[in-house]
């Protein structure tokens, strides 16, 4: 499968490489990446990236489900100000409070109001959901966001600083686990 940049309609930027020990394109999420309410582990996936532009000064990571029946999708995770020297995050880096994140990185509250990763939980009857897992290579070392900002505000600000993106899109359907 060829990965498409879910942000391309806002302006094309080069793509770089994103890999994971936990998730893959067009492949059902494992139990660990599902939400606890659906019997999952609420563990953010391991992510590694490479091939980003030399001008990169920091990274942001977002996981968004555009298929959620909300009209605006569902933000599962939003992390920013990841230092340029960090090119991977371990499984579970999205634990509540950010203790597993690199020094300097910050998390915003997800749709559940928690500063953590919230796993998948597509409601029955809503079909297959796509989890746009994106690493944004930014031309700025620090985004100055209010800690109460939403992931959409992160996306808005990242848009104006994105040099390139890396994308993985795993899937989930109600009843998969």
Output the pTM of the full model. Answer: 0.96
Sheet of 17-19, strands arranged across: 17-19, 47-50, 88-89
**What CA–CA distance (Å, rounded) separates 129 from 156?**
23
In this prediction, residue 3 carries a pLDDT of 63
In this prediction, residue 4 carries a pLDDT of 75
pLDDT tens string 63-104: 999 999 999 999 999 999 999 999 999 999 999 989 999 999
Between 9 and 143, whose confidence is greater? 143
pLDDT tens string 139-153: 999 999 999 999 999
| pLDDT tier for residue 1 given thresholds of 50, 70 and 90 | very low
Percent of the chain with pLDDT over 90: 89
What is the fold of 8-146+156-167? Phosphatidylethanolamine-binding Protein (3.90.280)
Residue with tokens 């944004």: 136
60 has a pLDDT exceeding 50:
yes
Residue 158 parent element (H or E): helix 151-159
């Amino acid at each position: 499968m060829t990965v498409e940049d879910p942000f391309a309609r806002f302006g094309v930027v080069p793509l770089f490489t994103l890999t994971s020990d936990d998730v893959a394109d067009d492949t059902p999420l494992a139990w660990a990446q599902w939400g606890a309410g659906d019997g999952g582990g609420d563990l953010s996936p391991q992510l590694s990236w490479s091939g980003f532009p030399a001008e990169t000064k920091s990274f942001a990571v977002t996981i968004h489900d555009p298929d959620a029946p909300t009209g605006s999708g569902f933000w599962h995770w939003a992390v920013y100000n990841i230092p340029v020297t960090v090119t991977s995050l371990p499984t579970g880096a999205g634990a509540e409070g950010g203790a597993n994140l690199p020094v300097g990185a910050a998390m915003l509250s997800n749709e559940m109001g928690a500063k953590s990763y919230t796993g998948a939980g597509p409601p029955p009857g809503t079909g297959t959901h796509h989890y746009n897992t994106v690493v944004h290579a930014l031309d700025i070392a620090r985004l100055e966001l209010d800690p109460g900002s939403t992931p959409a505000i992160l996306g808005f600000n990242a848009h104006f600083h994105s040099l390139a993106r890396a994308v993985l899109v795993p899937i989930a359907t109600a009843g998969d686990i």
